[in-house]
């Protein structure tokens, strides 16, 4: 167990996360069924416990066992492909009434694995130093695409890029990697994307031709946002929400519900809180007492920030529709628990000061 230092503890980071939950939960209640909302309350309790657990247990323990955690998450990504499909995708592992998404767990596993690897390397300014980090990231990414879960797959690369940058990689090399990633769009389009995924992109480019099909969700979301005004229509009074015209309104499109019922005031407050969460997370990284801590906090800030941006872009029609949850707000146990676990890990880094469990140059061999 790590020693909790309340004087160094970053309360702003924790309160920003809890404030996001506090803003989102009333709108989740107004858009989800009673059963789903009650289930999410249970998941919230589990998530808070997970955050406290990661706060108390020294984050360097997770760094020490990072490769085991990573290997376990990859095993689950493989195992889920052999399970029966749910909604035409193999992304859930169910144990009775409880479901778990291995792709969500992989986000946390990747952060600790990259922090472990990059924290012991001083050759990241050279191309050969980037090979293993890219393999650690891209190989499991193919498994996630195989499910298929394009939305989650899109949230993974920024973790790698942000942590490489924090670890000392050259901007030119990272820019080249981004260009190579963009070049991979052609083979992905022809060999990796399903017909319905291609249709969503066509609908994004020409929504008027798909307004009753693939573009319907995006158009209903924009209608809900436009009707919210400054202060919104009030909890439970949103026409689009109340008439159940917005598919996945309690899940991937919860931001549309917030904008309709809470208006610019609620939606803008939520965006501001995400900005605070990311900036404070980066501050935690900048002031961390070890390279492992800096890398871990950077990864946490990167995934929360990018996932929030991607979700809001989808809901506001600035990006093709894809399944990405709004962190700490959307319905879903796996996402909520994993996000709070990462927040707990960053909070652990914030109060660790200049002390590291293993000391400068200590061995992490198991």
Listed in sequence order, the DSSP H helices in the chain are 11-31, 34-56, 59-64, 66-79, 102-118, 131-146, 150-155, 157-167, 171-183, 185-187, 195-205, 216-228, 239-242, 254-286, 291-315, 333-350
pLDDT at 366 over 50: no
Asked if residues 8 and 300 have their Cβ atoms less than 8 Å apart, the reply is no
**What pLDDT, on a 0 to 100 scale, did the predictor assign at position 116?**
94
Which residues have a Cβ under 8 Å from the Cβ of 366 and sit 6 or more positions away?
64, 65, 67, 68
For the chain, which residues make up each domain, given as ranges? 11-350
pLDDT at 73 over 60: yes
DSSP class of residue 144?
H
The arithmetic mean of pLDDT across residues 51-80, rounded, is 93
Give residue-wise pLDDT tens across range 144-159. 998 988 889 999 999 9
CA distance 107 to 119: 18
The arithmetic mean of pLDDT across residues 199-216, rounded, is 84
Cα-to-chain-centroid distance, residue 348: 19
Burial of 155 (0-12, 13-18, 19+ CB in 10 A): buried
Confidence of residue 359 (pLDDT cuts 50, 70, 90): very low
The arithmetic mean of pLDDT across residues 287-305, rounded, is 94
């Amino acid at each position: 167990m790590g020693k909790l230092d309340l004087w160094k503890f970053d309360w702003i980071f924790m309160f920003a996360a809890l404030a996001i939950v506090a803003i989102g939960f009333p709108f989740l209640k107004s858009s989800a069924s009673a059963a789903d909302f009650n289930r999410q309350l249970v998941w919230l309790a589990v998530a808070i416990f997970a955050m406290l657990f990661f706060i108390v247990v020294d984050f360097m323990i997770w760094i020490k066992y990072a490769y085991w955690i990573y290997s376990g998450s990859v095993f689950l990504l493989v195992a889920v492909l052999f399970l029966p499909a749910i909604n035409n995708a193999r992304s859930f592992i169910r144990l009775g009434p409880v479901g778990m998404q291995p792709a969500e767990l992989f986000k946390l596993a990747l952060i600790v694995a990259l922090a472990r690897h990059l924290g012991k390397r001083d050759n990241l300014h050279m191309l050969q130093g980037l090979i293993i980090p890219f393999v650690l990231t891209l190989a499991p990414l193919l498994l996630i695409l195989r499910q298929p879960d394009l939305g989650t797959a899109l949230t993974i690369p920024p973790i790698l890029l942000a942590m490489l940058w924090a670890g000392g990689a050259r901007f030119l090399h990272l820019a080249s990697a981004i260009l190579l990633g963009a070049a991979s769009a052609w083979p992905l389009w022809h060999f990796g994307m399903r017909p319905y995924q291609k249709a969503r992109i066509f609908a994004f480019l020409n929504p008027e031709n798909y307004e009753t099909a693939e573009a319907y969700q995006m158009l209903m979301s924009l209608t809900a946002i436009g009707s919210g005004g400054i202060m919104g229509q009030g909890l439970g009074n949103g026409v689009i929400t109340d008439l159940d015209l917005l598919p996945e309104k309690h899940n991937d499109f919860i931001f549309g519900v917030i904008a309709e019922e809470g208006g610019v005031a609620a939606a803008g407050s939520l965006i501001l809180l995400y900005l605070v969460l990311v900036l404070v997370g980066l501050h935690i990284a900048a002031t961390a007492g070890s390279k492992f801590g800096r890398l871990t906090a950077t990864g946490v800030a990167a995934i929360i920030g990018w996932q929030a941006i991607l979700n809001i872009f989808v809901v506001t029609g600035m990006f093709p529709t894809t399944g990405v949850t709004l962190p700490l707000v959307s319905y879903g146990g796996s996402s909520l628990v994993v996000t709070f676990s990462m927040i707990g890990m960053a909070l652990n880094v914030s109060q660790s000061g200049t002390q590291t469990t293993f000391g400068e140059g200590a061995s992490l061999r198991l």
